């Protein structure tokens, strides 16, 4: 007797389950290469969760469902977990992009009032409704790119009122979009102009007022720890205040200049240390012996034109838990495409495609403490996955510059269908028009 389920997804050309390894916890070293690929694979789903995966023959024999979706021709894998993004901004900053292309430096533009402060001005000028509307559009953009879980930071308000507005905009935008969102308060993204001459006062404002008042609107707190922005002591104070309010910790660390950021993140048992273009050997060793995930953001080194990239190979070989993410933001990396990040992870970080898959799914989920729910296709987890129009899993980062995502499925529901030449009804969708 076949077991009844809600839905079957069948005939996936390849199904990348990641079920060869454990369901939870980060994957390190050699374990980043085990994908658990099933040819002609199928997924049985009930109540939004995975009941079983396997070969279509076996799943179709063991399970029965009223609804069956034929994914012939598509490579199916867990939805991307984009664990570092900054989507709560108002105006875009394409002029700075062109200034950088003409030779201007990112930090020099920032010091002249551009950069993060230019985004601060447009966020402060935007109404809550305007900020909510643009944020909502960007959350849909993640789904279009195959991302089913995202970490979203604020950090362009830089005052109590404007950071609160940013967190509320994010909360209100999330309600309308079937994307899993982990919210991060990043009031310590930059010093606002009114505190430039009295930085200590801004750190006090963050620790004594902003964090206690806003903690209930966020899951985590992040700091841009970088020489010239938040130093080690300031970062430590801010993150300690956040922990005292029950927030989990993340850090922008050792991005452009080394400052022991990775070591500090490990000391604080932060969930992640991110960027790490200038991580030290001690930093690598500290991270390797910890559960702090190294979130690498190759899109930023690329888009800033600085060609500063984290030493991913050394980090993987040392045993760090490595994740990759977009860093989507209006300044240093304006892309929501995790498949482009796969390309850059392979070309610039010299990661193997298998490692990039693990880094963009289960390891990223671990960094958000969501590995029990998403990141692999183990039975019991949320049925979050993506159908890619590519010949094999090896081609994820290969056909770069376009969007190979045909369909994004969240909790077993197709929530985003990109393919215009396909049937608008996902339950009769087939690749091409053949079959
Ligand atoms: O992660 N490093 C700081 N924050 C962002 C850039 C933000 C911006 O330029 O708007 C980053 O790269
Ligand atoms: Fe960032």
Please write the tens of the pLDDT for every residue from 118-139: 999 999 999 999 999 999 999 9
Listed in order, strand segments (DSSP E) in 94-233 are: 147-153, 180-188, 220-225
For residue 328, report the distance from its CA to the centre of ligand 1, in Å.
9
Q: Alpha carbon of 184 to those of 151, 155, 252: distances in Å?
A: 7, 9, 12
Give the number of other Cβ atoms within 10 Å of residue 419's Cβ.
18
Range of the domain at 152: 80-367
| CATH number assigned to the domain comprising residue 387 | 2.30.40.10
Pair 60, 149 in one domain: no
Q: Please tell me what DSSP assigns to residue 79.
A: P
Pair 423, 362 in one domain: no
The domain tally of the chain equals 2
Ligand 1 pocket at CB < 6 A: 86, 115-116, 119, 224, 252, 255, 300, 327, 329-332
Pair 345, 406 in one domain: no
For residue 83, report the distance from its CA to the centre of ligand 2, in Å.
10
Pair 314, 331 in one domain: yes
Domain boundary among 343, 367, 391: 367
Among 332, 333, 335, say which to mutate for ligand 1: greatest number of ligand atoms within 8 Å of CB. 332
Q: Residue 335 in contact with residue 305, Cβ under 8 Å?
A: no
pLDDT digits (tens, 9 = 90+) for 68-96: 999 999 999 999 999 999 999 999 999 99
| CATH number assigned to the domain comprising residue 259 | 3.20.20.140
Pair 90, 23 in one domain: no
At residue 133, the pLDDT reads: 98
Pair 42, 94 in one domain: no
Pair 21, 156 in one domain: no
pLDDT digits (tens, 9 = 90+) for 283-302: 999 999 999 999 999 999 99
Please report the sign of the dihedral spanned by the C-alpha atoms of residue 52, residue 54, residue 60, residue 61: negative
Pair 85, 149 in one domain: yes
- With 60 as the cut, is the pLDDT of residue 427 above it? no
Percent of the chain with pLDDT over 70: 96
Q: Kindly give the number of the ligand 1 atom that is closest to the alpha carbon of 89.
A: 10
Pair 133, 224 in one domain: yes
Percent of the chain with pLDDT over 90: 92
- Chain mean pLDDT for the chain: 95
Domain boundary among 314, 335, 367: 367
- With 80 as the cut, is the pLDDT of residue 215 above it? yes
At residue 433, the pLDDT reads: 32
In whole angstroms, what is the distance from residue 15 CA to residue 240 CA? 42
Q: Locate tokens 């709560």: which residue?
A: 88
Q: What is the pTM of this model?
A: 0.96
Pair 139, 198 in one domain: yes
Pair 101, 13 in one domain: no
Pair 321, 405 in one domain: no
Give the number of other Cβ atoms within 10 Å of residue 89's Cβ.
27
Domain boundary among 312, 342, 367: 367
Q: Kindly give the number of the ligand 1 atom that is closest to the alpha carbon of 110.
A: 9
């Amino acid at each position: 007797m076949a077991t009844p389920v809600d839905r079957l997804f069948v005939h996936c050309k390849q199904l990348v389950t990641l079920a060869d390894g454990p369901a939870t916890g980060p994957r390190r070293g050699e374990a980043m290469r085990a994908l658990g690929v099933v040819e002609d694979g199928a997924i049985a789903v009930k109540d939004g969760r995975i009941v079983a995966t396997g070969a279509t023959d076996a799943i179709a024999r063991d399970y029965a469902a009223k609804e069956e979706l034929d994914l012939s021709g598509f490579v199916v894998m867990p939805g991307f977990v984009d664990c570092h993004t900054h989507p709560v901004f108002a105006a875009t900053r394409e002029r700075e992009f062109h200034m950088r292309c003409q030779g201007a430096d990112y930090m020099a533009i920032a010091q002249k009032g551009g950069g993060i402060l230019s985004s601060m001005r447009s966020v402060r000028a935007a109404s809550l409704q305007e900020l909510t509307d643009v944020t909502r559009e960007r959350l849909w953009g993640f789904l279009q790119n195959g991302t089913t879980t995202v970490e979203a930071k604020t950090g362009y308000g830089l005052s109590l009122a404007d950071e609160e507005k940013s967190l509320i905009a994010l909360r209100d935008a999330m309600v309308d979009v079937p994307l899993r969102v982990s919210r991060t308060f990043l009031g310590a993204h930059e010093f606002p102009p009114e505190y430039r001459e009295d930085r200590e006062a801004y750190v006090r404002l963050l620790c004594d007022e902003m964090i206690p008042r806003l903690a209930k609107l966020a899951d985590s707190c992040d700091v841009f720890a970088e020489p010239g922005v938040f130093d080690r002591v300031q970062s430590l104070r801010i993150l300690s205040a956040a922990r005292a309010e029950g927030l989990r910790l993340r850090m922008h660390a050792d991005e452009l200049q080394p400052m022991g950021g990775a070591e500090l993140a490990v000391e604080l048992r932060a969930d992640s240390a991110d960027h790490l273009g200038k991580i030290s050997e001690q930093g690598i060793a500290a991270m390797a012996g910890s559960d702090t995930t190294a979130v690498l953001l190759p899109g930023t080194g690329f888009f800033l034109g600085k060609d500063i990239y984290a030493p991913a190979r050394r980090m993987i070989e040392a045993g760090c838990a490595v994740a990759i993410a977009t860093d989507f933001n209006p300044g240093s990396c304006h892309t929501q495409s995790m498949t482009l990040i796969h390309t850059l992870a392979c070309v610039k970080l010299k990661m193997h495609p298998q490692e990039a898959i693990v880094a963009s799914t289960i390891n990223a989920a671990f960094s958000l403490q969501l590995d029990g729910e998403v990141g692999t296709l183990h039975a019991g987890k949320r049925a979050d996955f993506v159908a890619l129009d590519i010949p094999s899993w090896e081609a994820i980062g290969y056909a770069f510059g376009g969007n190979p995502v045909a369909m994004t499925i969240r909790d077993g529901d197709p929530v985003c269908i990109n393919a215009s030449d396909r049937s608008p009804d996902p339950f009769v969708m087939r690749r091409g028009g053949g079959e």
